[in-house]
Structures are given as structure tokens and as C-alpha cells.
Structure 1
Amino acid sequence: MRTNHVRRALGTASALLLLPALLAGSTAGRAYAAPRADTTATADCGTATALTKTLPNGTGWSMCWRLSGTKGLVLERIAYRPRNEPRPLKVLTSASLAQVNVPYDSGLTEYNDLSDIGFGNTAIDIGREECPGGTVSPVYVPQQERTVKALCTTTAPHGYAYRSDVDDDHGTAKKYTKQGSDLVILSVSQLGWYEYITQWNFSDDGTITAKMGATGDLSPGDYSGAGTGWPIGKGDRDHSTSHYHSVFWRLDFGLDGSPRAKVEQYDTKKAGRGPGSAVLKTTRTPVTRELAANSALRRWWRVVSTAGKNADRHPRSWELVQQHSDRYDAHAYTSKDVYVTQYRACEQLASGNSDPACDGRGTSVDKWANGETLTHPVMWVNVGFHHIPRDEDQTPMPVHWQGFQLAPRDVTAMSPLTPDELSGHNGQGN
């Protein structure tokens, strides 16, 4: 029963009734820029909004942001500048959500929140208290016929950056410790009884964290009698129906300014027994053709630059760090954790992709991963969460998060947070 909540987000009942027609029009996937007075027009960002931030430990991040009617928050031209590097290092050409699929266990209801409704179309105001110490930026949303305070940018502590008790270069015992911080960018969309938080954290150690939080309220229309769902409230009368959230992100890498990256898969398996422990052997498999794959024990992927190396002459790369995921196996496209496809501009949503330029290619990402040679890889990350409601989900519902990280691997010769007096400790020979 999303009707009342969507109507509340859009403002009027008539807006809700017109929503399918509006989404079928040309504005469904359009990126809404902030009003001209709030837009920084640069050579890199065009009419999108430029964002540059240097964190307290010296790491800099720069990017462009805009609000897409379908995808919601879209980040483009993301660059990372570690302390002591001469110039920013380009990482991602674009990064955004690509679908939120929500089927209910009863088999009665299913939503595709991006392709059916849109996160930008349903963006809601963010109060200053929700963006402590940061800036809230306005965007005009045509579907709502109003300007929405839609984007929060702020910084937040993330605890220890490092801690080490070692001797300094003069042989004197010294404690090295530092606290870390993140650049945080987020927007909030209201669909049905749920409110979704689209959030990106850019850390001073170079880690990028993509996550989506679901909060709001349990839908009273999805309560059922005894025998289905989980008992919520007094006794055994009301049962809230369990459901899935399968969230997709689309990552178009532009490492060191080039889209021609390589993708590699690593697997570590037991290979015998040594005198002290098991012998583990790690193998590298180049991913040269489109991939549809699931995570496994000690398996991971990285995207490797073909255009740049660090000071140790190692190719720069970014590793996909996955969190727990419950794959939804009732659909082909949600049954895989990771897809890597050859870039096509028309392939933007993991399902319900309606761009006519993709006619004949299917409307979901599983159809596109058909073995084509990779020269410009695009990574699609799927994280599933099976929500079995509990009493504590009343009300408002505590935020439940799902997402992943991109961790720098050999992007710099040492950590960008290494103290200057330890900068010579690079490799055993030093």
C-alpha cells in the first residue's frame, strides 16, 4: 500500500494518478540540475554542480553531482587527490543507483522503484538537522513542480585512521595515531511507506562507500492475518509481510582518465598443508569478456588502470569489497552479485531499461552480459536484503543499510595518511 505515502511525497492525489504518464514522458530519466544561481558551470561539470572538498588529513575529493528523475543522485567525474600527489587521480566517470527491486514474500506485490517511479521524482526536503555541519542544496523537481532541498554534503568522523607504536627513524619509541574523516553526500526519496537514503562516503584513506538506507514505516496495507509474515504488535493478530530489497549500482570507471580498464578476478583456495597452517594459493583470472558472477569464499574483483601506475610502478586499481548479500533468486537479473558489461550509453538501469536505443538488447542487465569482449567495462553491483520485520521496526523504522566499498589497491605507493617521518618505510629494503 504505497498509495498514501507516494501521494504525500508528490503533494496531491492528482499527481499520483498522473505519475505513470509523467514517467513515460521525456522527463523520466532527465537529470535535474540545481537552479542556475546555485550551479557551478565548469568545463568538467557543464551545468551540473561541482563539488570539491579537502578533508582534515589532506585528502581531496572532487566530482560533479546532479539529480536524475529516475536514478536520483548521480555522481560524475569523481577524482581522488591523495596528500603529496601532484594532481587528482580520476576514478569514476559516473556512479549511481541502477534499480531497487522490492518483491513481497506473499507473491502479491512487487515494485521496481527506479524504473516505475524514480528516486529523483520523489526526492524530499532534507533539514539542516539532518546535515550537521554541512550544506543542503536545492534542486527543482518538475514532477513535484517545486524546488526540493535535495542534497546534503557534509563531513563526518569515521574513527581510527590508524594506530601504531613503533620506533621513529631515530630509534625513539613513538605512538602514531590519527582519526579519520569522510566526505558524505546524500539524498532522501520517499516511495510508499519507505524513505530511502542514497549515500556516498569518500574517505581520507581513499575508500569509497556506496550504501542505501531504508527507513520510514512498515506499510499498514501489508499486514496480514495469522499464518503469513511476522507477528508485529500485541499477540498474534497482525503480521507484517516479509519482502526483499535488491539494490543495484552502476559504476562506469575512468581510471587515470581512460575508460579502457582491465578487470581481474582473484580466488584463494587451499593447496595443501604447511608446518604451521594450511597452504593457500591465490590465482588471478583476467576477465576479458562480459561477466555475470556470484561472490564466493575468498573471491574478489578489481578494476585495473591501463593508463597510470603509482610511484612503485604498480598499476593503479580499485577493489570491490562486498558486504553480506541475500540474493533474490526468483529473477534472473537479481540472482547474480556482480555483472561486468561492455559500455553502451543506453544501458542505464539493471531492469526496466526502456531507452529505445537499446531495443533488441533486452531490458535487464543479465541480457547484456552475453560474452562480448570488454574494452570499456561497466560494473553492476547487486546487494540483496531480505527484510523479515520485527517489533522494533515500529515506528519510525530504524535504518537498515546495504551497500559495498571500492578500496584503493596500489593507487599510491604508501597510504596517503602515512606520517611524513615514516614516508621512507616503503618495502622491506627500505
Structure 2
Amino acid sequence: MHRKRVAAALAVAALTGGAAAATGPAAAAAPKAPTAPAPPADCSAAYTIEQKLSGGTTWRMCWHYESEAGLVLDKVSYQPKGEAKPIRVLTTAKLAQIHVPYDDGQWEWDDLTGQAFGQGLQELTPGECPGGTIKTVKVPDAFEPSQANVKGLCTTTRSRGHAYRMAGEQANKAWAAQGKDLLVYTVNQVGWYEYITEWRFADDGTISANVGATGSLSYDDYDAGDGRGWPIGKGAKDSATSHSHNVFWRLNFGLDGSSANRVEQYDSVVTPVANGGTPKTKTTRTPVAKELAGDAKAMRWWRMVSATGKNKDGHPRSYEIVPGATTKYPGRGFTRHDVYFTEYNKCEQFASNNLRNCGPGAGRSVDKWVNGQTLKHPITWVNVGFHHIARDEDQQPMPVHWQGFQLSPRDVTAMNPLTPPALADQNGNYQ
């Protein structure tokens, strides 16, 4: 068998703080604002993650753990400095499938719903969560009314390099700051693979979702031929079978606390100009009123727009979906598109091999759920693929290969949430 048996287990973790450095011309300290009362808790302390980063941004969220999806984040909110209260971003966010078809057609796996992904939560060592906290959580068994305790979820902070840099008016001076992220992650073992499920919440409001595959190549699959594998080891023997990792995420946005968000698609077209002229580019906005299976292409993007909230400039708050590098897998209907927007249905939880019976003719994969319904409560499904053609460097252990996407704030705040006080008046055409 391609998969080795994994024991049931689980865990969760807390968090710790960190500081980002900033340099630049000296500025008078801004008057200290009165301390606002803490917002009411959305969940008990044991299931709360709250972190104030050094730039003044606070992220808050709840979490729970499921036997198939693993870690689920709930009620995610973002409160940059200058905002009186938290801004809700997501109602729930989780993995929705890791689909692994092998190039020789012998094996095809749904690692979440077909391999009990949540059962394989791994115990983390202290060195894997530097500066952070690892908590013990109860992992529900998919088949028995029992639970296992595993120290398996790390919450910490990480530096990410420059948050911004801008030359100052004085020589050899610059406005500059180092950015910080809140990092929340788990590791789940499925067969020979170990998957790092990582969520990063940046002090500038960006959310990054990534899955890193590591562990081992399956020695049971050193049987490839006919261009469907790569030789591993001495000579031309032991050819590891190539395969794909098609990772799906399910996002239930709740911008400003409302499920009635709007989807918009943007496309830009460049018109060449003859006789040495300068090309022109035009961008058009298309409201996505009905369910959609979308394909990423050059100069196309989507955003989820708040139906109720605006920033201090009066612009509707939104989050832009920024897909990462991907290799689209055409072998199945549900992997043929990069983004799906479907109308909310509690039954629809996994992008393929959905475990729940959603009714006659509903189908068990996300492509079957795009039926032209009007989007009143849109659910976003993001698909990022990776075609893994093994190499000698993949042993042993296998270096992590990452795939994922970002949610980038667009008009959530009126200015950069990390703007220094001395530049706070430079909004719009300030000159």
C-alpha cells in the first residue's frame, strides 16, 4: 500500500509576542488614545488566539479541531492601530481537501476525507515553535467516541522582513519598518507525507494560507516507468512515481460581521499602440452575482467586498484573493478551476469526496455545486496545485515544498495600518 497507518492524535497552541523595528526621522510622540474596553470574547479562553503585534495590530480568532479537516479557525478579526474595534474578516477558514492522484493511474487519494487527515496530528517539539507556545488539545476520533491528547498546535510570531521603506527628506535617512506575523500551524501525517498547515496573519492585515508537504517519498511507489517517474538512488532503478498535490481551502467570509458579502472580478486588457506609441491598459469590474467556477489568468483577480462596512475614507472594505504559484491538474472536474464561489450550504464542506449526503443529484465535489444560484452568502474555494516530480534531493527527509495563497486587504483601512504618526496627514493628494 502507498499509505502507512497513522495513529489517531491531536493538539493546539497559544501564542507569544514580538517586536518590529522602525527607523526614520524623529517625530513627536502622538498623544496616547484612551484605552478602549476589550471586545467581548467569541469563545472560551482555551479556544481563543489573540496577539498584538509590535506595529499596533491585534489579531483575534477562535479555533476548533475536526477529525477530517484538522485545524479550523473561526471568527477571525483584525484591529489595526487607530481602529476603535475589531474588524471581522472570516467566519471560518479551513483546509477543504488535499487531492493526490499518481501519474501512473494506480492510486488517487483524498487525504482529508479518505485518509482521516485530522487523526494524524503530530506532536511538536519545543524547537519547532521558537518563542511560542504549544498546547495540548483533544483530537476527536473519526470512528470511536474517544479522543487523544497531542501537543500539536504552535502559535508564535515571525519576522517577515521589510514592511515598508521610503526615503526621508534628510540625507541617509529613511522611513522603514520590519514586519511581524502571527503564525499558527499544525503538522498532520498522512502515510509517508507530513503536511504543515500554516496560517500567517500580518501586521498590515494580510492573511497567508500555506500547506507545506514534507516527510518521505513512498518507497512502495518506486515502480514508475514510461515517463511517469524519476530515478531515485544509484543508476536508473527505483523510479519514484510522480504525482500531484491539489490543495483546496474553504473560506466563509464575514466582513464586518455580515455574511452578505459581494464578489467582484477585475480584468485588465493592454491595447498595443502602433508606430511606437505607448500601450494603454483598461481595467473593468464585473460583479459576480451568481455562482462561478473561475480561472486565474494574467491581469485577473477577485475580491470579496463588505456589504456593510466602509473605511474612514468612505470606501467599502474588501479582501483581494491572491493565488500563489499553481500547476492546474485537468484530470478531474473539481481540479480544473482555480477559484469557486458557491452559495452557502452547510452540507458542502470538502471540495472532493464530501462526506455528507447533500441530497439527490447534489454531487460530492465543488464543481457540482456551481449551479447558477444567486450569491447571497458566498463561500470561496481556492485550489492550488503542485505536480511533484521527485528528485534525488527529496530524500531523506524530504525538503518542504509549499503551495498556498494570500488574502490582501483592499481599502480595509484608509491608509497603511503601519503608517508612522508623522506621515498620518499624507492621505490622498496631500501636497
| Alignment TM-score, normalising by the size of structure 2 | 0.89
1:218 lines up with 2:217 in the alignment? yes
Q: 2:121 aligns with which of 89, 109, 123?
A: 123
Q: Report the CA distance between 1:360 and its aligned residue.
A: 3.5
Q: In 2 relative to 1, CA 345–224 (structure 1 residues): closer, same or farther, beyond 3 Å?
A: same
Deviations 1:35-73 (A, max 9, x none): 9xxxxxx85125870111001111110000111111011
Secondary structure class of the residue paired with 1:126 = coil
Task: Determine the structure 2 residue equivalent to 1:28.
Answer: none
Task: Determine the structure 1 residue equivalent to 2:240.
Answer: 240
1:262 lines up with 2:255 in the alignment? no
Secondary structure class of the residue paired with 2:113 = helix
- The amino acid that maps onto 1:191 is V
- The amino acid that maps onto 1:263 is V
**Separation of aligned partners in 2, 1:135 and 1:118:** 26
- The amino acid that maps onto 2:254 is G
Secondary structure class of the residue paired with 1:116 = coil
Instruction: Map 1:412-423 to 2 at 5 A.
Output: 412-423=413-424
**Separation of aligned partners in 1, 2:367 and 2:252:** 17
Q: Report the CA distance between 1:139 and its aligned residue.
A: 1.2
**Separation of aligned partners in 2, 1:236 and 1:221:** 17
1:278 lines up with 2:283 in the alignment? no
Secondary structure class of the residue paired with 2:78 = strand
Q: In 2 relative to 1, CA 33–150 (structure 1 residues): closer, same or farther, beyond 3 Å?
A: closer
- The amino acid that maps onto 2:234 is K
**Separation of aligned partners in 1, 2:182 and 2:106:** 41
1:53 lines up with 2:51 in the alignment? yes
1:139 lines up with 2:141 in the alignment? no
Task: Determine the structure 2 residue equivalent to 1:309.
Answer: 310
Task: Determine the structure 1 residue equivalent to 2:21.
Answer: none
Q: Does the 8 Å contact 1:226/1:238 carry over to 2?
A: no
**Separation of aligned partners in 2, 1:342 and 1:71:** 20
Q: Report the CA distance between 1:273 and its aligned residue.
A: 2.6
Structure 2: 5+ residue stretches without partners: 14-39
Task: Determine the structure 2 residue equivalent to 1:403.
Answer: 404
Task: Determine the structure 2 residue equivalent to 1:111.
Answer: 109
Q: Report the CA distance between 1:2 and its aligned residue.
A: 3.9
Q: Report the CA distance between 1:174 and its aligned residue.
A: 3.9
1:153 lines up with 2:155 in the alignment? yes
Q: Does the 8 Å contact 1:198/1:211 carry over to 2?
A: yes
Structure 1: 5+ residue stretches without partners: 12-31, 36-41
Q: Does the 8 Å contact 1:347/1:358 carry over to 2?
A: no
Q: In 2 relative to 1, CA 225–388 (structure 1 residues): closer, same or farther, beyond 3 Å?
A: closer
**Separation of aligned partners in 1, 2:398 and 2:191:** 13
**Separation of aligned partners in 2, 1:211 and 1:406:** 12
Percent of pairs identical after alignment? 52
Task: Determine the structure 2 residue equivalent to 1:425.
Answer: 426
Q: Bigger relative contact order, structure 1 or 2, given CA contacts below 8 A and separation 6+?
A: 2
Secondary structure class of the residue paired with 1:190 = strand
Q: Report the CA distance between 1:98 and its aligned residue.
A: 0.3
**Separation of aligned partners in 1, 2:359 and 2:419:** 47
Q: Does the 8 Å contact 2:211/2:403 carry over to 1?
A: yes
Secondary structure class of the residue paired with 1:75 = strand
**Separation of aligned partners in 2, 1:310 and 1:59:** 16
